[in-house]
Chain A
């Protein structure tokens, strides 16, 4: 009897999940390197979490780059929403644990010795993160903590009703 039933499919079907693609922006190595570069090129004496978020998002597309630059150079004030990416927080935590950056007493982050060494290596390689380096060099330290503070203070009035 059993032999009559010649099933092509046996008792069970096994589905195997193929590995998922991860966008480069969500690679630990990439994000940590990006954040280290931001700290090295765009700040003096520490960098706030908010600033890291803003610049990191600002690097994602050409359009974002322009908008952020306009804000930094006071060209227009249409910069409304700051987007937060949990990946940035994640990456910061990894970087802190790996000993690349430290959080200072005043809450700002800065690179320590290993991190600085890492950034030096990245800058030495001309081909590595070419666009990011070019953009960050043009942004330089123009996006100051004051400007960010001024922007966040606006939120209190514009977003909070009653």
Chain B
């Protein structure tokens, strides 16, 4: 909840300190001035300004404030120039009180700066009070820690939802938007329901604000959906990178993975069992066992050459055969690599040409604009001689062929560019693949060649020597077994990770299935029904007559705004009835939120609600209705022009509201002891 406790405006002039200091209470506060001077608006504007909500009035910074803050104060005949000005506002959230200070005119202090004193206004000068500087209306001030609105959000114990923004992203719902449904400003505010809402790049902002104030489940669902979306993409990213890593490592050892799930899915134990790595069509563990067997076999062999001459001869042949086939493949791959490189070069070249083309076309478009500014006939597609239409082309055109306009041409070239870039990417990928393969082949060739060399050495060596090839082979087998063992260990580790991810995925799918299918929950429908009930009751109470049968009015499930037979109510309302509708809607929002524990902070500001000379008996009913409110604060700015209004206020039960009289000149000189 939010309550405004006290407002103190300080204006330092060449004639000393002037200002205004007033306490506000719970319930109805009437800020009344005898004449429509700027005093009352200055006071209400200061509240907006201190909270950083001045965009609701229309504008940012001190320019929304009246002249007294910026230029001069009049006192009788005298005019005193303003030296410094600013305002303190004490607000209360039900638990703690803080005081906000924002300067309007002050040398060396930016008006975006807001100082928050964590104490009542009386104690702000005391030692030991926590003082923090924050800012408003800066990029990210709604999400940054030092942003005042972030602080205010926390202070009011509300959690603003993330909502779809106009640029397809998500944005936090701004406090300014929410408060524009509660602070009805005297100029913009009375043309329509929530018409004072500034545009801050949020799609369907009125709807989002109403959802928030009524705390509808749809908003909750949206939030849930949003968090599910982030979970979904996070799991997908982790899964993909894991699979990619696995693939690279497995292929580096010349193995092929089987049963690798490429996208997130719920894996059973069986699935995980089927996830195997094969080398040369044999399961990796079997392959290692085979190697082990071979190794064992080698140790059995007599290490002397003479004993294995035939074997060595045979093996040499086999090795040389495979060297040959590897070389052939290497040769083929090198050829392919060359082809890919050439096509990449060509594409790069083409892309460069297209880029200059695009640039030059953009130049041409601007030149054309420049030309039409200087009033050249050719820039307007007319012939300067005969004033007949011509096409923007110097190519002698045949027949009636249309040519593209420059903008079309630029789009056309951009499309081509996209296509070329796509082709380039795929060629690059191919190239990488081939390079990988070449590397692999070269490695295998190296081992095979050194093997062949050892075999040859054995063949030509003295018979009694120890066979080099056997030792060589042993070393090789040992190394291979080691690296394969490592791979197996690694895979097992990653399998565990995959299992965890699969569990996460399962949980995600379950949560997704748990989302309610219907857009509105039952309690949502209930809330909207209650809103309608309050709204219609308020309308009839305040004397709304434009629509004879008020029961025809519905609250739209699309916009949550009142409609009649699907149309905006405003079209059927007279000017004063439109004001009644705004009263009713703003009040019924508060009532509904109070009844159904919505997010409404329980504060309303109406500036000059008696627009379009509404009869004073209706205004009286309006006041009396507000007086009955519990748990809320309503501040109403009123000009008392005639005796009717004065009587209206006098008729209200005394003690049930707080009358704050703003004198002819709101700002009086502060006596020194006040300082």
Which A residues are closer than 8 A to B by beta carbons? Answer: 17-33, 86-87, 90-91, 94, 97-100, 114, 117-118, 121-122, 125, 128-129, 131
Contact = CB atoms under 8 A, between A and B. Distances in A.
Given A91-B394, A114-B374, A24 B363 contact: yes
Given A29-B378, A98-B377, A24 B370 contact: no
A29 B371 contact: yes
Contact of A87 (B377, B395, B408): B395
Interface string B385-397: 1000000111110
Contact of B394 (A87, A98, A99, A125): A87
Interface stretch (B123-131, B399-407, B595-603): B399-407
Contacts of A27: 361, 364, 368, 392-394, 406
B363 A94 contact: no
B385 to A, nearest CB: 5
A94 B403 contact: no
26 contacts: A17-B401, A19-B404, A20-B401, A20-B402, A20-B403, A21-B409, A21-B412, A23-B357, A25-B360, A26-B393, A28-B379, A28-B392, A29-B371, A30-B360, A30-B363, A33-B364, A33-B370, A90-B396, A97-B384, A97-B385, A98-B376, A98-B378, A100-B376, A118-B371, A118-B374, A121-B370
A120 to B, nearest CB: 11
A90 to B, nearest CB: 5
A18 B403 CA distance: 8
> Nearest 9 A-B pairs (CB), nearest first?
A97-B384, A87-B394, A30-B364, A29-B368, A24-B360, A19-B402, A29-B367, A26-B394, A27-B364
B403 A125 contact: no
Contacts of B376: 32, 98, 100
A23 B413 CA distance: 10
B366 interface: yes
A59 to B, nearest CB: 10
Contact of B404 (A20, A25, A91): A20
B383 interface: yes
A31 B394 contact: yes
Given A27-B406, A29-B378, A100-B376, A22 B367 contact: no
A24 B361 contact: yes
Given A87-B395, A90-B394, A118-B371, A125 B402 contact: no
Contacts of A125: 366
B366 A128 contact: yes
Contacts of A26: 393-395
Given A19-B408, A22-B403, A97-B383, A121 B395 contact: no
A128 B363 contact: yes
B395 to A, nearest CB: 5
Interface of B: 356-357, 360-361, 363-368, 370-371, 374, 376-379, 383-385, 392-396, 401-406, 408-409, 412-413
Contacts of B385: 97
A74 to B, nearest CB: 29
Given A30-B363, A98-B376, A22 B401 contact: no
B372 to A, nearest CB: 9
Interface of A is mostly: helix
B167 to A, nearest CB: 26
Contacts of A99: 384
A152 B370 CA distance: 37
B624 to A, nearest CB: 66
Contacts of B395: 22, 26, 87
A38 B403 CA distance: 27
A98 B357 CA distance: 26
Contacts of B413: 21
Given A28-B393, A129-B363, 19 more contacts: A17-B401, A17-B402, A19-B401, A20-B404, A21-B409, A22-B403, A24-B361, A25-B360, A27-B368, A28-B394, A30-B360, A30-B364, A30-B367, A32-B378, A87-B394, A91-B394, A94-B384, A97-B384, A128-B367
Contacts of B370: 33, 118, 121-122
A97 B406 CA distance: 22
A32 B392 CA distance: 12
A83 to B, nearest CB: 15
Nearest to A93: B385
B265 to A, nearest CB: 42
Contacts of A33: 363-364, 367, 370-371
Contacts of B360: 24-25, 30
A19 B374 CA distance: 28
A129 B367 CA distance: 9
A101 to B, nearest CB: 12
A87 B394 CA distance: 5
Contacts of B374: 114, 117-118, 121
Contacts of B393: 22, 26-28
A128 to B, nearest CB: 6
Contacts of A121: 370, 374
A99 B382 CA distance: 14
A32 B378 CA distance: 10
A86 B397 CA distance: 12
B396 A86 contact: yes
A98 B377 CA distance: 6
A100 to B, nearest CB: 7
Contacts of B412: 21
Nearest to A129: B363
B381 to A, nearest CB: 9
B577 to A, nearest CB: 55
B116 to A, nearest CB: 46
A94 B360 CA distance: 20
A125 to B, nearest CB: 7
Contacts of B409: 21-22, 24
A29 B379 contact: yes
A15 B409 CA distance: 21
A94 B383 CA distance: 8
